[in-house]
Amino acid sequence: MRIAAKDHVFALSSAHAPAAEVESGSVVTFETMDCFANGLACADQLFSSIDWNEINPATGPLAVRGALPGDVLKVEILDIRLAEQGVMVTVPGFGVLDREMVRETTKIVRVEGGKAVLNDRIELPVAPMIGVIGVAPKGDPIVTGTPGDHGGNMDCKRIVKGASLYLPVNVPGALLALGDLHAVMGDGEIVVCGVEIAGEVDVRVSVLKGAVLPTPFLAEGGRLMTIASAETLDEAAAEATRRMHRFLLERLGIESHEAGMLLSAAADLRVCQVVDPLKTARVELPAWIAERYGFRLD
């Protein structure tokens, strides 16, 4: 099954008709535009030339048969293939360096031989990741530029090939959509973009019945991660930490104070992004610690 980039949405919503429907366990390829709907093809095209309503297209949504509210949707990222060029922008008033970025600029970034060519000195090894990936929320639609408990624009650089992302099912079919690939991005997404790029993503989607996980939950590179988004980075960090703490209590059976000390000693609290309408943080716990308590992830 393949979903073309022309089948895209700008909000995650229970009202959207699925672009495709598959059985649980299916492998699906999503073709994705970059976050500017491929509207910046050369350095003289500026961010302000893009229609605001055309930012962050997410391909889909994909309905998974049998997914019902209360289930968990497991999304295994099997592969991410990138286009040959990406793009970065600066926009005055945007991002952490909102005052320093005094001009709108656009930089085309070639991707060749597994490297993103930033300038004549710096070629960064690509680390392809998915910026926007989520399911329809329970209530009102949520625009694809905003992260939340449904996933969305989390800009978590650990959502890479080999990762398994666990999302809540809020509506029948789950309605998964994804886009906003980055060839490479640092934690924080400082000036409001990674190396934005079109591409293709292969995922396997599986419905888990009766799974109790603090979604969005991520397993990647031998780490288990809780991810939370909130108005401020402080709140996002605290909420991601509380979710991991509860996971230790409820799934691993660890006593509360022991769990607090374990997190303090062994977990890493990290920034996903600080430039979207809500900020996103994650807590990373080495998976072997959970396994020591008998935990196995489905």
Residues engaged in binding Ca ion (CB under 5 A): 35, 131, 153, 155, 180
By CB neighbour count within 10 A (0-12 exposed, 13-18 middle, 19+ buried), where does 71 fall?
A: buried
User: Which is nearer to Ca ion, 155 or 200 (by Cβ)?
Assistant: 155
User: Which is nearer to Ca ion, 180 or 220 (by Cβ)?
Assistant: 180
Least distance from C-beta 247 to Ca ion, angstroms? 26
Distance CA 159, CA 161 (A): 7
Least distance from C-beta 213 to Ca ion, angstroms? 23
Least distance from C-beta 79 to Ca ion, angstroms? 19
Pick from 177, 179, 165: nearest CA to 141: 177
CB 150 within 8 A of CB 170: yes
User: Which is nearer to Ca ion, 35 or 80 (by Cβ)?
Assistant: 35
User: Which is nearer to Ca ion, 155 or 220 (by Cβ)?
Assistant: 155
User: Which is nearer to Ca ion, 134 or 214 (by Cβ)?
Assistant: 134
Least distance from C-beta 147 to Ca ion, angstroms? 8
Least distance from C-beta 140 to Ca ion, angstroms? 20
Mark residue 266 as left, alpha or beta (left: phi above 0; alpha: psi -120 to 50; beta: remaining).
alpha
Least distance from C-beta 71 to Ca ion, angstroms? 26
User: Which is nearer to Ca ion, 230 or 262 (by Cβ)?
Assistant: 230
Q: Using CB atoms, what's the residue nearest to Ca ion?
A: 131
**How are beta strands 58-64 and 20-22 bridged, if at all?**
parallel
Distance CA 262, CA 228 (A): 20
Least distance from C-beta 290 to Ca ion, angstroms? 29
How many other β-carbons are positioned within 10 Å of the β-carbon of residue 34? 28
Distance CA 229, CA 155 (A): 11
User: Which is nearer to Ca ion, 57 or 137 (by Cβ)?
Assistant: 57
φ, ψ at 287 (rounded to 5°): -65, -30
User: Which is nearer to Ca ion, 18 or 151 (by Cβ)?
Assistant: 151
Least distance from C-beta 6 to Ca ion, angstroms? 20
